[in-house]
Amino acid sequence: MARLHGFTKQQVLDIYRTMVIARKLDDKMMTMLKQGKAFFHIGCSGHEAAQLAAAITLKGGEDWSYPYYRDGAYCLGLGMTAREQLLSFLARDADPNSGGRQMPMHYGHKALRIVTQSSPTGTQFLQAVGCALTRKMDRSREIVYVSAGEGTTSQGDFHEALNWASRAKAPLIFHIQDNEYAISTHRSDQTADSIYAMVSGYRNLSRYDVDGTNFFETNLAFKQAAERARRGKGPSVIVSNVVRLVPHSSSDDQRKYRTPNALKEDQKRDPIHIFEKECLEEKFFTEGDIEKINKEVKIHVDQDAQWADEQDHPAVETALTHIYSADGQPAETDLVPIAEKVVLVDAINHALHEEMAYNDKMMVYGQDIADPKGGVFTATKGLSTAFGTERVFNSPLAESSIIGTAVGMAVTGYKPVVEIQFGDYIWTAMMQLRNEVVTMRYRSNNAWSCPFVIRVPVGGYIHGSLCHSQSIDGYFIHMPGIYIAYPSTARDAKGLLKMACRMDDPVLFMEHKGLYRQGFSATEEPDENYLLPFGHARVVAEGDELTIVTWGAMVQKSLDAIRECDLPSGSVEVLDLRTLNPLDLDSIETSLDKTGKVILVYEDNLTNGPGAEISALIVDKFFDLLDGPVRRVASKDCPVPYNWYLEEQVLPQTADVSEAIMELLEY
Ligand SMILES: Cc1ncc(C[n+]2csc(CCOP(=O)(O)OP(=O)(O)O)c2C)c(N)n1
Ligand SMILES: [Mg+2]
């Protein structure tokens, strides 16, 4: 049978038809947008050949894909239907990409293993690395596709991903679709050289620079890269040089920054015409085939668009569903002590050992966490020796890498329990956290989730200065989609961490550095079966005149303050919240019902800190129970200085709490 570059006539016709569907969908959607049926469109016109060259190399449903917003033709090539793309465009309930929750062209399809994509340029890279790492661990032949435009290679995540993928020989293909423009910014303003030149210097990384308007040339590169990845030889970068035949998006007008001539030149490189020309010359198709396919596709796209337009919108009652898993958490188990005393950091270490033994999909990584050091605070000591360096290892010194790869691992069913060495350095991972981790379940309408645990030492009182003393509570309680624990005792730390490892959603697990080895935080050690549910405060001291709501290192400060006040016993009640999400408002209500007065004591700084929110909730919900103003004792709105006399002025001290107690009692 005659073949063109190894393709049969039927295959060539199918590829052509898919390119035409992609093009006609762009046209149709723009028309519908102008009719007011939708609000956003971002097209793949000009990128079709490169994307299909990639798509036919991967197996939808077996291999994994992290496409970007311009990958419409890629998704069609993998098996997504025109109807599914139209449902997304019109934000309908049945849209498998996001159920209408995300803007159009934010692809995601569980059955095809297209992992839900968010909007930031570049966050997909590190997740794809994480996904590829577990594919390798599973000894599978599955490979991972990740794609972006050339402008996006300026993001740090891209370079972090190249580094980790190359180091680990991850089975991954990076597809950089270089249309020379990032919105209006030309490539020459992005990079010193070509993208191909820029990605040199990584061992194990293959590079290809292809004419992305030529399907056959691009496909050859993908075949080689896929074969290499499947044989465990490592990742590849394929830079396909394409043209953007449409403005950046429906909100853009490229005539403002490109000349009519330049736009005309791009039309000459239309990949569909190039494909038609070669197939006609090689007598693989006739003009009649082209005409017939174009006509048929137009009719189908019109019909599909009408069908999609008739489908239901999501029910308004569902607007708040799937922020968290509906499965809840396991119940509390009895506490059976196995040792009389354990310090908090050792309780954490033991919890990790037990959970690693319990769940063979659990992995632990972060900076310096492997033996012989076992973490800068020794929380992870012994783990890499006990469980091997495939499951417990040092990560590169890059927080976005740690969180991004964890997301990618978690979607494949693994349970990363990662460490960010200091809360003060979590900020380089903030894009992953804010726009990926916490939104994944919601934005995919419950199709995808990334349950994993982020352990992070936080807090001051250790003369750690501005960047080893920070409290991060306030930033994280602001974000729906992540559970937050902050234990003050060894017992609670063990029970909550073990629970976190078994939960179905992401968890931020804060550990106060100053409590790690404190005698007052040491407790009896619960056995391996102990699980402590989130959302249950602990009554640390009972009282009926005033309630202190607190957590972390402030629990002991509050107890010390009560002692300093020299009050009759039973005056002040202390609630240790233990988790900041969920918040145990019931326990606060019960306590306030007795005392009528409340002080919130917390280490984060005052303004917009967690106490502001809790205080607002109390005033809103329990106003009738209050006999005085809601008071806050917190850090000053100031960085934490190194000099210990200055440090004392900024962080809340026992005397600050006792003063507040006396004042409020007298109110
Ligand atoms: C982190 C981030 N910054 C800015 C944006 C806004 N933005 C969306 S697409 C884009 C240009 C991307 O260009 P390129 O990577 O070349 O891809 P192309 O659109 O050309 O295919 C920008 C700046 C964003 N989505 N995310
Ligand atoms: Mg571009």
Q: What is the pLDDT of residue 331?
A: 85
Q: Whose CA is nearest to atom 8 of ligand 1?
A: 121
Q: Ligand 1 center to residue 96 CA distance, Å?
A: 24
Beta strands in 520-592 (DSSP E): 523-526, 538-541, 546-550, 572-576, 579-581
CATH 3.40.50.970 boundaries in the chain = 30-273, 337-526
With a 6 Å cutoff on the Cβ, whether 631 touches ligand 1 is no
With a 6 Å cutoff on the Cβ, whether 152 touches ligand 1 is yes
Q: Ligand 1 center to residue 151 CA distance, Å?
A: 7
Surface-to-core class of residue 231, CB atoms within 10 Å of its CB (0-12 exposed, 13-18 middle, 19+ buried): exposed
Q: Ligand 2 center to residue 254 CA distance, Å?
A: 13
With a 6 Å cutoff on the Cβ, whether 183 touches ligand 1 is yes
Average pLDDT score over residue span 332-341 = 93
Q: Which fold has domain 30-273?
A: Rossmann fold (3.40.50)
Give the Cα separation of 263 and 244 in Å (integer): 9
Q: With contact defined as beta carbons under 8 Å apart, do 546 and 573 qualify? A: yes
Q: What is the pLDDT of residue 330?
A: 86
Q: Is 380 left (phi over 0), alpha (psi -120 to 50) or beta?
A: alpha
Q: Rounded to two decimals, what is the model's pTM?
A: 0.98
Give the Cα separation of 106 and 110 in Å (integer): 13
- Which tokens sit at 623? 């106003």
Confidence of residue 446 (pLDDT cuts 50, 70, 90): very high
With a 6 Å cutoff on the Cβ, whether 151 touches ligand 1 is yes
User: Could you report the per-residue pLDDT of 110-150, keeping only the tens digit for each?
Assistant: 999 999 999 999 999 999 999 999 999 999 999 999 999 99
Give the Cα separation of 16 and 286 in Å (integer): 13
Place of tokens 């394929």: 238
With a 6 Å cutoff on the Cβ, whether 119 touches ligand 1 is yes
Best residue for ligand 1 mutational test, from 42, 74, 102, 121 (most atoms within 8 Å of Cβ): 121
User: Could you report the per-residue pLDDT of 73-88, keeping only the tens digit for each?
Assistant: 999 999 999 999 999 9
Q: With contact defined as beta carbons under 8 Å apart, do 488 and 523 qualify? A: no
Give the Cα separation of 297 and 279 in Å (integer): 19
Give the Cα separation of 650 and 290 in Å (integer): 74
593: enclosing H helix or E strand? helix 585-595
SS3 track for 380-394:
CCCHHHHHCCCCEEE
Confidence of residue 108 (pLDDT cuts 50, 70, 90): very high
Q: What is the pLDDT of residue 332?
A: 85
CA-to-CA separations, 653 to 410, 520, 569, 602, 633, in angstroms, rounded: 40, 17, 22, 11, 9
Q: Is the pLDDT of residue 1 over 80?
A: no
CA 121 to ligand 1: nearest atom = 26
Using alpha carbons only, how large is the chain's radius of gyration in Å? 28
Q: With contact defined as beta carbons under 8 Å apart, do 522 and 488 qualify? A: no
Q: What is the pLDDT of residue 274?
A: 98
- Which tokens sit at 667? 């109110």
Q: Is the pLDDT of residue 203 over 80?
A: yes
Q: Ligand 2 center to residue 183 CA distance, Å?
A: 7
Q: What is the pLDDT of residue 2?
A: 87
Best residue for ligand 1 mutational test, from 152, 195, 239, 246 (most atoms within 8 Å of Cβ): 152
CA 120 to ligand 1: nearest atom = 26
Q: Is the pLDDT of residue 57 over 80?
A: yes
Q: Is the pLDDT of residue 635 over 90?
A: yes
536 carries an active-site annotation:
no
Q: Whose CA is nearest to atom 11 of ligand 1?
A: 182
User: Could you report the per-residue pLDDT of 298-322, keeping only the tens digit for each?
Assistant: 999 999 999 999 999 999 999 999 9
Q: Quote the distance between the C-alpha of residue 435 and its chain's center.
A: 6
Give the Cα separation of 633 and 602 in Å (integer): 6
174: enclosing H helix or E strand? strand 172-178
156: enclosing H helix or E strand? helix 156-168
Indicate the Cα dihedral angle 523, 634, 613, 617, nearest 10°.
Answer: 70
Q: Quote the distance between the C-alpha of residue 569 and its chain's center.
A: 48
CA-to-CA separations, 356 to 149, 414, 436, 585, in angstroms, rounded: 39, 12, 25, 33
Place of tokens 């909550």: 496
CATH 3.40.50.920 boundaries in the chain = 538-666
From 468, 478, 512, 536, active-site residue: 468
User: Could you report the per-residue pLDDT of 521-568, keeping only the tens digit for each?
Assistant: 999 999 999 999 999 999 999 999 999 999 999 999 999 999 999 999
Nearest alpha-carbon partner for 160 in 142, 180, 174:
174
Q: With contact defined as beta carbons under 8 Å apart, do 271 and 54 qualify? A: no
User: Could you report the per-residue pLDDT of 493-512, keeping only the tens digit for each?
Assistant: 999 999 999 999 999 999 99
Q: Ligand 1 center to residue 247 CA distance, Å?
A: 13
Q: What is the pLDDT of residue 561?
A: 98
Q: Ligand 2 center to residue 179 CA distance, Å?
A: 5
- Count the neighbouring beta carbons within 10 Å of the beta carbon of residue 122: 23
Question: What proportion of the chain, given as a percentage, has pLDDT over 70?
Answer: 100
Q: What is the pLDDT of residue 117?
A: 98
Best residue for ligand 1 mutational test, from 183, 188, 435 (most atoms within 8 Å of Cβ): 183
Mean pLDDT, all residues of the chain: 97
**Domain boundaries 538-666, corresponding CATH code:** 3.40.50.920
With a 6 Å cutoff on the Cβ, whether 153 touches ligand 1 is no
- Which tokens sit at 262? 């330049």
Is the N-terminal amide bond of 451 cis, ω within 30° of 0?
no
Q: Which fold has domain 337-526?
A: Rossmann fold (3.40.50)
Place of tokens 């783990």: 383
Place of tokens 């050690």: 525
SS3 track for 616-637:
HHHHHHHHHHCCCCCEEEEECC
CA-to-CA separations, 538 to 383, 457, 459, 492, 542, in angstroms, rounded: 30, 22, 21, 10, 10
Q: Is the pLDDT of residue 328 over 90?
A: no
- Which tokens sit at 212? 């992305």
Place of tokens 């020379």: 180
Place of tokens 């957590």: 551
SS3 label, residue 251: coil
Cα-based angle 293, 67, 96 (whole degrees, multiple of 5): 75
Q: Is the pLDDT of residue 461 over 80?
A: yes
With a 6 Å cutoff on the Cβ, whether 70 touches ligand 1 is yes
CA 119 to ligand 1: nearest atom = 25
Give the Cα separation of 384 and 369 in Å (integer): 8
CA 248 to ligand 1: nearest atom = 19
SS3 track for 344-368:
HHHHHHHHHHHHHHHCCCEEEEECC
* N-terminal to C-terminal alpha carbon distance within the chain: 94
CA-to-CA separations, 304 to 22, 82, 88, in angstroms, rounded: 13, 7, 12
Nearest alpha-carbon partner for 646 in 460, 431, 412, 440:
460
SS3 track for 446-504:
CCCCCCCEEEEEECCCCCCCCCCCCCCHHHHHCCCCCEEECCCCHHHHHHHHHHHHHCC
